[in-house]
Amino acid sequence: MIARLLTLTAALLSTSALAQTPAKVSSPDGRLTVIVETSGEGRPDYQVLRDGKPVIGQSRLGFLLTDATKLERYFTISDVQIRAADTTWEQPWGESRYVRDHHNEMRVRLTEGGELKRQLDVVFRVYNDAVGFRYEFPDQPQLRQVNISEELTEFNVAEPGTAWWIPAGEWNRYEYLYNKTPLAEVSQAHTPITVKTDSGLHIAFHEAALVDYSSMWLRRVEGRRLKAELSPGSGGPKVSRTAPFNTPWRTIQIAADAPALYQSSNVILNLNEPNKLGDVSWFKPHKYVGVWWGMHLDTESWGSGPKHGATTANTKKYIDFAAKNGFRGVLVEGWNEGWDGDWYNNGAVFSFTKPYPDFDIEWLTNYARKKGVRLIGHHETSGHVANYESQLGAAFDLYQKLGIDAVKTGYVADAGGIKAPNADGTTRQEWHDGQFMSNHHLRVVTEAAKRHIAVNPHEPIKDTGLRRTYPNWVSREGARGMEYNAWGAPPNPPEHEAELVFTRMLSGPFDFTPGVLSLEGRGGLPLESTVAKQLANYVVLYSPIQMVADLPENYAKNMKPFQFIKDVPTDWAETKVLNGEIGDYVTIARKDRNSENWYLGAVSDEQARTLSASLSFLTPGKRYRAEIYRDGPDADWKTNGKSIVIEKKNVTSADTLTLNLAPGGGQAIRFVALR
Ligand code: NOJ
Ligand code: CA
């Protein structure tokens, strides 16, 4: 379909050379206001008000530098410019086809007194449901090389509340269970971090467009005051840049309830640059199977030997299974040399071009193509980025030659254990989310894009909306996925998905790898889920690539619920969050991008719940056949997770459905538009 011409208005509302203090700007609906001033000895700070009441109290702005006086005081506001913008842009793929970017922008120029007279701009964009701001370092002789030891940005939350967060700076990167604590008990957290204040306001802190910079963690300094803590560099500055440059955007989503909080995360995409890759129709959102779950169950191995999973015969079985059921992709892990021995610590020996002798990559890619299926490549680096970067071009050339157009990468190594290359051939230690890795991921994504290959990193850097600029960066891990249910340690608890939606998922797609209908991990370890919830996760946890993670023989035993996995799309025209509470439950409806059909997913935590879902999202006047996959009356993840009722009934937009969810349960519905 030809893209509609979209609305665009941008107007300079006011500019002043001799700025007033404080500088102020409001959201288009007037409810959110940002105030910037310099107080004390010229210390710049900002506040955010909602309906005149503080949401973020006075919070500092500025930087510590390793080799120059800090940028923190003796500033005056020397110029303020305000503009309005209201545009709508189209996503090549996503949770919604069109995204509206409606905001007022205020650019504040800070000029230092004394000898130095250094200048720093802070640019705020105020939306009806979010605030974003970033620092812009102008070109100036007195501050050209900028070596940042710390960012001084603060978020001083005005009201007490409850926070959902995972620790930052700990060994397991982002793969932690969520803490739910009073805000005043947060220690050091990754973003997104979500807060529900005592008066019910929902706030999430994150960042957008993390490019050539270090990730922002949030450390609670005292009370409810959170402060930026940049992910470490390898000694020396945490960030080194040459002016002019911009920092990533710091984002504050502010919403009345949990559903509105999820919808407010458009701010992350809106603050990223438009698509730099042009026509990306070569990336097709899809579902995929994989030579994968067997390794996590420990019935197969990545390394060579009698349990080797990535053999020609086993991969052929997966290709046949994918072709028969309409799945486009077949991921194969353990196909390449380097997995034997202690692969967690042996990243230097991975080859990204040499297949194991029992894996006939050419025959398999040809066979797959003839059946309408594509192999998905895999590059596990074990964090040895120096080894990976030295082979990057050759690795992607091989995939391009074979017609492999999607690759999963992996950085299994403790946080801080990335091996980065030095010019002299030695390596140094870096963090998964520092400045070096923000650049590494973009090197991979752009090298892949040149060859029309999509990228899905595991143990990644967090998502900050760069899929808008580089739409071949299609998904990533960066939270606890299905694999934890194979290992135990412990498995993901029933509230996990309802926490993810309002925390990790605010940042972007997650390759969670849903759909384990056997409800069993390693050695029969039970998943804390019902079968209906496994289906609902395809709608609830967004990704344009969704794994069909279980073994083919387990789907063969669950053919009726498996039908929903075959039917559910992975690309959406619209998304509506019908209800939800963080960590308790959530119901999401999404419209297929390629038909008139809608899909609904609802998930609960450990409680049984009765939710009501108005179908007013359906087109009025149209009739739909609702294909319902719901927990059976006796379903309970502990005793009877497989109990499911599958039924059909006709509905219209005037109907309201009552959704009965079991403990650890869920519900999935396909609404087929009838003529
Ligand atoms: C961890 C990833 O999350 C998992 O999906 C993968 O199978 C292993 N690393 C091996 O690369
Ligand atoms: Ca992982």
**Over the stretch 59-103, which tens digit does the pLDDT of each residue have?**
999 999 999 999 999 999 999 999 999 999 999 999 999 999 999
| Atom of ligand 1 at shortest range from CA of 378 | 11
Ligand 1 site, residue 458, Cβ cutoff 6 A: yes
Non-local CB neighbours of 329 within 8 Å, separated by 6+ positions: 286, 287, 288, 289, 290, 322, 373, 374, 375, 376, 406, 545
**Does residue 11 surpass a pLDDT of 90?**
no
Tell me, in angstroms, the distance from the centre of ligand 1 to residue 482's CA. Answer: 11
Ligand 1 site, residue 483, Cβ cutoff 6 A: yes
| Both tokens assigned to 443 | 């090197």
In whole angstroms, give the CA distance from residue 449 to residue 451. 5
Percent of the chain scoring above 90 in pLDDT: 95
Burial of 302-326, coded b for 16+ CB within 10 Å and e otherwise, reads bbbeeebbbbbebbbbbbbbbbebe
Task: Return mean pLDDT, the chain.
Answer: 96
Ligand 1 site, residue 380, Cβ cutoff 6 A: yes
| CA dihedral (256, 259, 262, 267) positive or negative | negative
Please compute the mean of the pLDDT values over residues 574-579 and round it to a whole number. Answer: 98
| Both tokens assigned to 105 | 């922008």
Ligand 1 site, residue 206, Cβ cutoff 6 A: no
| Both tokens assigned to 539 | 């709608």
Element (H, E) at 429: strand 427-430
Angle, CA 569 vertex, CA 568 and CA 571 arms, to 5°: 150
**Does residue 273 surpass a pLDDT of 80?**
yes
Closest ligand to residue 410's CA? 1
pLDDT category of residue 14 using cuts at 50, 70 and 90 = low
**Does residue 12 surpass a pLDDT of 80?**
no
3-state class (DSSP) for residue 538: helix
Tell me, in angstroms, the distance from the centre of ligand 2 to residue 481's CA. Answer: 7
Please spell the DSSP secondary structure of 383-426, one letter per residue: TBHHHHHHHHHHHHHHHHHHT--EEEEE--S-TT-EEEEPTTS-
Please compute the mean of the pLDDT values over residues 628-650 and round it to a whole number. Answer: 98
The single-letter DSSP state of residue 338 is T
The residue whose CA has the least distance to atom 7 of ligand 1 is 292
Query: 603 or 233: which carries more pLDDT confidence?
Result: 603
φ, ψ for residue 192 (rounded to 5)?
A: -65, 140
The residue whose CA has the least distance to atom 6 of ligand 1 is 410
Q: Which residue among 302, 333, 335, 409 is best mutated to probe the pocket of ligand 1, counting the most ligand atoms within 8 A of its Cβ? A: 333
Please compute the mean of the pLDDT values over residues 569-589 and round it to a whole number. Answer: 98
- Token pair 């805000």 is at which residue? 183
**Does residue 577 surpass a pLDDT of 90?**
yes
So what's the pLDDT on residue 7? 41
So what's the pLDDT on residue 2? 33
Non-local CB neighbours of 221 within 8 Å, separated by 6+ positions: 154, 227
Tell me, in angstroms, the distance from the centre of ligand 2 to residue 180's CA. Answer: 22
Q: Over the stretch 132-164, which tens digit does the pLDDT of each residue have?
A: 999 999 999 999 999 999 999 999 999 999 999
Tell me, in angstroms, the distance from the centre of ligand 2 to residue 412's CA. Answer: 7
Length of the chain measured in residues: 675
Closest ligand to residue 480's CA? 2
**Does residue 272 surpass a pLDDT of 70?**
yes
Q: Over the stretch 499-510, which tens digit does the pLDDT of each residue have?
A: 999 999 999 999
What ranges in 57-107 are assigned the alpha helix state H?
none
**Does residue 114 surpass a pLDDT of 80?**
yes
Residue 632, number of CB atoms within 10 A of its CB: 19
The residue whose CA has the least distance to atom 2 of ligand 1 is 458
The single-letter DSSP state of residue 308 is B
Tell me, in angstroms, the distance from the centre of ligand 1 to residue 458's CA. Answer: 7
3-state class (DSSP) for residue 375: strand
- Determine whether 260 is exposed, middle or buried from the number of CB atoms within 10 Å of its CB (0-12, 13-18, 19+): middle
Closest ligand to residue 175's CA? 2
Please compute the mean of the pLDDT values over residues 210-233 and round it to a whole number. Answer: 98
Distances from the Cα of 148 to the Cα of 325, 458, 484, angstroms: 52, 28, 37
| Atom of ligand 1 at shortest range from CA of 295 | 7
**Does residue 9 surpass a pLDDT of 50?**
no
Pick the closest to residue 119 from 141, 134, 148 (CA basis): 141
Please compute the mean of the pLDDT values over residues 252-263 and round it to a whole number. Answer: 98
Active site residues: 483
* Cβ atoms 540, 515 nearer than 8 A: no
Ligand 1 site, residue 175, Cβ cutoff 6 A: no
Tell me, in angstroms, the distance from the centre of ligand 2 to residue 656's CA. Answer: 39
Distances from the Cα of 375 to the Cα of 175, 365, 473, 535, angstroms: 27, 6, 18, 24
The single-letter DSSP state of residue 261 is H
Closest ligand to residue 407's CA? 1
Distances from the Cα of 88 to the Cα of 21, 96, 536, 577, angstroms: 33, 12, 30, 21
pLDDT category of residue 21 using cuts at 50, 70 and 90 = confident
Pick the closest to residue 287 from 639, 674, 567, 584 (CA basis): 567
- Token pair 């800090």 is at which residue? 70
Ligand 1 site, residue 673, Cβ cutoff 6 A: no
The residue whose CA has the least distance to atom 10 of ligand 1 is 380
* Cβ atoms 153, 213 nearer than 8 A: no
Nearest-10 Cα torsion for 352, 294, 670, 609? -120
Q: Which residue among 297, 380, 547 is best mutated to probe the pocket of ligand 1, counting the most ligand atoms within 8 A of its Cβ? A: 380
Ligand 1 site, residue 511, Cβ cutoff 6 A: no
**Does residue 23 surpass a pLDDT of 80?**
yes
The secondary structure of 125-171, three-state, reads: EECCCEEEEEEEECCCHHHCEEEEEEECCEEEECCCEEEEECECCCC
- Determine whether 341 is exposed, middle or buried from the number of CB atoms within 10 Å of its CB (0-12, 13-18, 19+): exposed
What ranges in 583-651 are assigned the alpha helix state H?
none
| Atom of ligand 1 at shortest range from CA of 296 | 7
Q: Over the stretch 446-479, which tens digit does the pLDDT of each residue have?
A: 999 999 999 999 999 999 999 999 999 999 999 9
- Token pair 């955007």 is at which residue? 249
pLDDT category of residue 235 using cuts at 50, 70 and 90 = confident
Ligand 1 site, residue 250, Cβ cutoff 6 A: no
| CA dihedral (357, 358, 361, 367) positive or negative | positive
* Cβ atoms 379, 412 nearer than 8 A: no
What ranges in 264-360 are assigned the alpha helix state H?
266-270, 293-297, 312-325
Pick the closest to residue 189 from 202, 205, 210, 203 (CA basis): 205
Ligand 1 site, residue 333, Cβ cutoff 6 A: yes
Residue 616, number of CB atoms within 10 A of its CB: 14
φ, ψ for residue 398 (rounded to 5)?
A: -60, -45
Q: Which residue among 174, 352, 412, 516 is best mutated to probe the pocket of ligand 1, counting the most ligand atoms within 8 A of its Cβ? A: 412
φ, ψ for residue 312 (rounded to 5)?
A: -60, -45
Q: Over the stretch 289-313, which tens digit does the pLDDT of each residue have?
A: 999 999 999 999 999 999 999 999 9
Tell me, in angstroms, the distance from the centre of ligand 2 to residue 178's CA. Answer: 16
Closest ligand to residue 296's CA? 1
Ligand 1 site, residue 379, Cβ cutoff 6 A: no
